[in-house]
Copies of this chain bind each other. A is one copy, B any other.
Amino acid sequence: MSKKFVYLFSEGNKDMRELLGGKGANLAEMTNAGMPVPKGFTVTTEACTQYYEDGRKINDEIQAEILEKLAVLEEQNGKKFGDPENPLLVSVRSGARASMPGMMDTILNLGINDTVAEGLVKLTGNPRFVYDSYRRFIQMFSDVVMELPKKNFEVIIDLVKENRGVQLDSELLTEDMMLLVERFKAYYKEKMGEDFPQDPKVQLMESVKAVFRSWDNPRAQVYRAMNDIPADWGTAVNVQTMVFGNWGDDSGTGVAFTRNPTTGEKELYGDFLMNAQGEDVVAGIRRTSDISELKKINPAVYDRFVEIATRLENHYRDMQDMEFTIERGQLYMLQTRNGKRTPGAALKIAVDLVKEGLITEQEALLMIEPNSLDAVLHNNFTARALATAKPIANGVPASPGAGCGAVYFTAEDCEAHASEQPVILVRQETSTEDIVGMQVAEGILTARGGRASHAAVVARGMGRCCVAGVASLIVDEERKVAVLGGSTAIHEGDYISLDGSTGNVYLGRLETEEAKIAGDFATIMGWADKYRQLQVRTNADNPHDAGVARDFGAEGVGLVRTEHMFFAEDRIPAVREMIVAPSEKERRIALNKILPMQRGDFEGIFKAMKGLPVTIRLLDPPLHEFLPTEDADIENLSKTMNMSFERLKAIVISLQEVNPMMGMRGCRLPIQWPEIAEMQVQAIFEAAINVYNETGEKVVPEIMVPLVASDHELKYVKAIITNVADGLIAKAGIDLPYEIGTMIEIPWACVRADAIAKEAQFFCFGTNDLTQMTWGFSRDDAGKFLGTYMDKKLIEHDPFQRLDRRGVGRLMKLAVDLGYETRPDMHMGICGEHGGDPVSIEFCHNIGLTYVSCSPFRVPIARLAAAQAAIRNPRK
């Protein structure tokens, strides 16, 4: 029995989204719920995978199945594909498993050709509509299937409009539309060397192929990489009977959300256009009307739509994003899906849905993408700044947050300058080509488009602030200048500030402030804490960061990187003196200069954490990182240090390493020079004792030894630590508990974690180094080939961004199991970048870690991710 590759809408349901894609599954669901959905069928995602397996060909079997279902469609509609007497027209739309707005392409009005057009004129008596539809079809087919750029067709339209002396498409007459069809066909023939295809079945097959092909286009690849969508999912294709929003003034099309996707308020929210096809709304070319206007134009249709929207939200138990078309006063639903929303709206909607009794707390937690909280946590303009600032323009508040940066007019320029300074992308309107530029920008400003425009949808998805549809903005991309608010010229590199929550645009840089956890956010965090099993700590190297993290809910510091302190301007001279010291005695003299500063650092962090545990990692990086490498800098330093250039240079050279990542660093430093660790431990315990004496709060210092491979190493360094610590504690005469543990970041330590655990009270996985060693990838150099690896699909994600669960994770699992075997009550965590990545956090939960530690701003994300992990994978 061969696989079924094509399903009628009536054969599917919402649980079949893996096979039918999100759009197809929901069209099926709505069809079965008796809603007014034009008939159609879905070519499955498996057909797409098969297409790629067959070397980018739709095989005969699948072609036959498509034509078979097309025949059913003809019968259902009582119309025939290509029959001028009674022609069936269809739309072809992609529909992947996960919604990918703007990525995939749509073709409307398919099935039209010269004779069908003539037939349709007779049938409808509306030649302008017919030739408008025909020219649109040629344009879309040429663009999507043949990759003839759409804008070249726009040029032809502009010429016709110029000749006619009109501004808007809607002002064009029937004869203009007919002329456009002729010119478009001529242009097509000129470019493609053959006539525009008149056979509707050829049109259909080529369009399906084009959708499959577009799954793997560069824009889609970027989107997938950004959103972690596996390449092998594929896309489905939906073929659906056309209904026409451009039939006349009693027709129209629109999109709407059941709740406000920006604020989360429970209100119908959307835009529509009369006498238009869907793309006109999304493209933002024409100014749309608010959905509430529809009530005035056609109250019956409006009421029906409200009723359907409510049913859909209750049915899907989530806010819905719907597309509809009105054909000659009749409402048709073309799509529904869970709506994209701003992170703030997501919080409100989730909390409201619980209050309304539609979902449970756990379901609410699972509805929120942890990474989206990043946006809620960042950047609003301060009240002080807003009090005095005067906006120079206002547009649609399309995605909230405050964005401040230098203006660039192309995505490429944004990319090129984003590493130097914050950038703002300013465009007439955005398109899929701009995605990478939007990704690196602090904010997006467009002249055209509303809340459903490409810029708005994508920016909200990314958590970037966006002000769209600023009518007074004129962008001259060529000359790299824009005019705003009538007279203000903005040149490339000028700073502007965007308020995505009000739509205001300001000149210069406005002061921003970071968000607090309150309201719905606080509610969600409370629920997260209720369900999560992982403790969440923070990585913090100074009291400020530690304080911020504590406010964000960190339950301790999981990683203090003491080397960051060594780089501080006031101590780097002493650090360098220590490094170049010719003997232990001189090294100790230099270390004594650093001691009071280190003690001060720790006192600050201990105070900020108010008795919560603080894990301090001993000095980790190779010492040469603290010395200059260029002759000129060495020369300067030699003068400061009162040492000959030659001698200092010799020391610098002697410290150089072929592979510094695997050289003299981590626990190898105190093994070689115990006095360095002695100073650090002294600073830690003197600080803890001082803070106790001052505040009465007992810190629990956890000393963490980095880069431990073997138990012997740890045992050796442990002896140095206990020796100093116990002496200081005894001298202070207080009972100060502390722990000694180790980073697990070397494969040796993983495979013999049973032995390591004999010496360690806790493990903390350093998955950055562990990834380097496990893969043999130097993070500094892997950029040269990781791109190729991802292109060639040899690796799904950058393993430095998302924990590689297959290999690195296997070693971690081994280490966890062996560690608990020796010491069942030990605590185990992860610090470093993976500790703030939700997918990695879920893995950490699953293998039995007890905590994750991440940067302060990721603490709320980690709290939510940990809760989701616990809800999805309850521990026994």
**Which residues of A approach B to under 8 Å, CB–CB?**
657-664, 666, 668, 671-672, 707, 709-710, 712-713, 716, 745-748, 751-752, 755, 769, 772-778, 780-782, 784-785, 788-789, 792-795, 806-808, 810-811, 814
Q: Nearest Cβ in chain B — how far from A656, in angstroms? A: 9
Residues of B within 8 A of A662 (CB): 659, 661-662, 772, 776-778, 781-782
Q: Can you list 17 residue pairs at the A/B interface with Cβ under 8 Å?
A: A658-B781, A659-B661, A659-B778, A662-B776, A662-B778, A663-B778, A671-B794, A672-B788, A707-B776, A747-B773, A748-B774, A748-B807, A748-B808, A751-B774, A751-B807, A752-B807, A755-B806
When C-beta atoms are compared, the residue in chain B nearest to A746 turns out to be: B776
Q: Nearest Cβ in chain B — how far from A706, in angstroms? A: 11
Contact A795 B710 (CB under 8 A): yes
> Which of A660, A709, A747 has the most B CB atoms < 10 Å from its CB?
A747
Q: Nearest Cβ in chain B — how far from A120, in angstroms? A: 51
Complex CA–CA separation, A795 to B810 (angstroms): 26
Q: Nearest Cβ in chain B — how far from A681, in angstroms? A: 18
When C-beta atoms are compared, the residue in chain B nearest to A810 turns out to be: B751
Q: Nearest Cβ in chain B — how far from A782, in angstroms? A: 8
Query: Which of B657, B778, B793 makes the CB contact (< 8 A) with A780?
Result: B657
Q: Nearest Cβ in chain B — how far from A721, in angstroms? A: 16
- Which A-B residue pairs are the 9 nearest by beta carbons? A659-B778, A662-B778, A658-B780, A748-B807, A663-B781, A747-B747, A712-B794, A657-B781, A751-B810
Identify 19 new A-B residue pairs, CB closer than 8 A, beyond the known A672-B785, A748-B808.
A658-B778, A658-B780, A659-B660, A659-B662, A661-B776, A662-B662, A662-B772, A663-B778, A664-B781, A671-B792, A707-B776, A710-B806, A710-B807, A745-B776, A746-B774, A748-B774, A751-B774, A751-B807, A751-B814
Complex CA–CA separation, A666 to B789 (angstroms): 14
Residues of B within 8 A of A814 (CB): 751
Residues of B within 8 A of A775 (CB): 709, 746, 748
**Would A664 and B774 be within 8 Å (CB), given that A807-B710, A811-B747 are in contact?**
no
When C-beta atoms are compared, the residue in chain B nearest to A777 turns out to be: B662
Q: Nearest Cβ in chain B — how far from A765, in angstroms? A: 14
When C-beta atoms are compared, the residue in chain B nearest to A749 turns out to be: B807
Contact B664 A784 (CB under 8 A): yes
Contact B709 A807 (CB under 8 A): yes
Residues of B within 8 A of A745 (CB): 776
User: Chain A contact residues: over half helix, strand or loop, or mixed?
Assistant: helix
Complex CA–CA separation, A710 to B789 (angstroms): 11
Query: Which of B660, B716, B793, B811 makes the CB contact (< 8 A) with A794?
Result: B716
Q: Nearest Cβ in chain B — how far from A250, in angstroms? A: 57
Residues of B within 8 A of A661 (CB): 658-659, 662, 776, 778
Q: Nearest Cβ in chain B — how far from A685, in angstroms? A: 24
Contact A793 B712 (CB under 8 A): yes
Contact A716 B792 (CB under 8 A): yes
When C-beta atoms are compared, the residue in chain B nearest to A788 turns out to be: B672
Residues of B within 8 A of A666 (CB): 776
Query: Which of B671, B746, B785, B792 makes the CB contact (< 8 A) with A789?
Result: B671
Q: Nearest Cβ in chain B — how far from A794, in angstroms? A: 4
Q: Nearest Cβ in chain B — how far from A365, in angstroms? A: 33
Q: Nearest Cβ in chain B — how far from A347, in angstroms? A: 39
Residues of B within 8 A of A657 (CB): 778, 780-781, 784
Contact A659 B780 (CB under 8 A): yes
Contact A794 B710 (CB under 8 A): yes
When C-beta atoms are compared, the residue in chain B nearest to A657 turns out to be: B781
Complex CA–CA separation, A779 to B774 (angstroms): 17
Contact B778 A810 (CB under 8 A): no
Q: Nearest Cβ in chain B — how far from A717, in angstroms? A: 10
Q: Nearest Cβ in chain B — how far from A795, in angstroms? A: 7
Complex CA–CA separation, A229 to B778 (angstroms): 37
Residues of B within 8 A of A784 (CB): 657, 663-664, 672
Q: Nearest Cβ in chain B — how far from A80, in angstroms? A: 47
Contact A776 B773 (CB under 8 A): yes
Contact B781 A776 (CB under 8 A): no
Residues of B within 8 A of A746 (CB): 774-776
Complex CA–CA separation, A871 to B251 (angstroms): 92
Query: Which of B707, B709, B713, B776 makes the CB contact (< 8 A) with A709?
Result: B776
Complex CA–CA separation, A438 to B810 (angstroms): 48
Contact A785 B710 (CB under 8 A): no
Query: Which of B671, B748, B777, B806 makes the CB contact (< 8 A) with A752?
Result: B806
Q: Nearest Cβ in chain B — how far from A124, in angstroms? A: 56
**Would A785 and B751 be within 8 Å (CB), given that A657-B780, A659-B659, A710-B794 are in contact?**
no
Contact A664 B811 (CB under 8 A): no
Q: Nearest Cβ in chain B — how far from A790, in angstroms? A: 11
Residues of B within 8 A of A780 (CB): 657-659
Q: Nearest Cβ in chain B — how far from A715, in angstroms? A: 8
Residues of B within 8 A of A709 (CB): 774-777, 807
Q: Nearest Cβ in chain B — how far from A854, in angstroms? A: 24
> Which of A658, A746, A776, A811 has the most B CB atoms < 10 Å from its CB?
A776
Query: Which of B664, B772, B785, B806 makes the CB contact (< 8 A) with A664?
Result: B785
> Which of A775, A794, A795 has the most B CB atoms < 10 Å from its CB?
A794
Complex CA–CA separation, A660 to B662 (angstroms): 11
Complex CA–CA separation, A806 to B749 (angstroms): 10
When C-beta atoms are compared, the residue in chain B nearest to A662 turns out to be: B778
**Would A774 and B773 be within 8 Å (CB), given that A660-B658, A663-B784 are in contact?**
yes
Complex CA–CA separation, A769 to B776 (angstroms): 9
When C-beta atoms are compared, the residue in chain B nearest to A655 turns out to be: B784
Complex CA–CA separation, A811 to B668 (angstroms): 23
Complex CA–CA separation, A748 to B814 (angstroms): 13
Q: Nearest Cβ in chain B — how far from A160, in angstroms? A: 44
Q: Nearest Cβ in chain B — how far from A665, in angstroms? A: 9
Complex CA–CA separation, A778 to B772 (angstroms): 13
Complex CA–CA separation, A777 to B746 (angstroms): 10
Residues of B within 8 A of A795 (CB): 710, 712
Complex CA–CA separation, A784 to B654 (angstroms): 10
Complex CA–CA separation, A660 to B661 (angstroms): 10
Residues of B within 8 A of A716 (CB): 792, 794
Q: Nearest Cβ in chain B — how far from A10, in angstroms? A: 41
Complex CA–CA separation, A776 to B775 (angstroms): 12
> Which of A772, A774, A781 has the most B CB atoms < 10 Å from its CB?
A781
Complex CA–CA separation, A747 to B777 (angstroms): 11
Complex CA–CA separation, A622 to B757 (angstroms): 37
Residues of B within 8 A of A751 (CB): 774, 807, 810-811, 814
When C-beta atoms are compared, the residue in chain B nearest to A751 turns out to be: B810
> Which of A709, A751, A778, A784 has the most B CB atoms < 10 Å from its CB?
A751
Q: Nearest Cβ in chain B — how far from A638, in angstroms? A: 23
Query: Which of B659, B668, B752, B806 makes the CB contact (< 8 A) with A810?
Result: B752
**Would A747 and B774 be within 8 Å (CB), given that A781-B662, A792-B716 are in contact?**
yes
Residues of B within 8 A of A752 (CB): 806-807, 810
Complex CA–CA separation, A746 to B712 (angstroms): 23
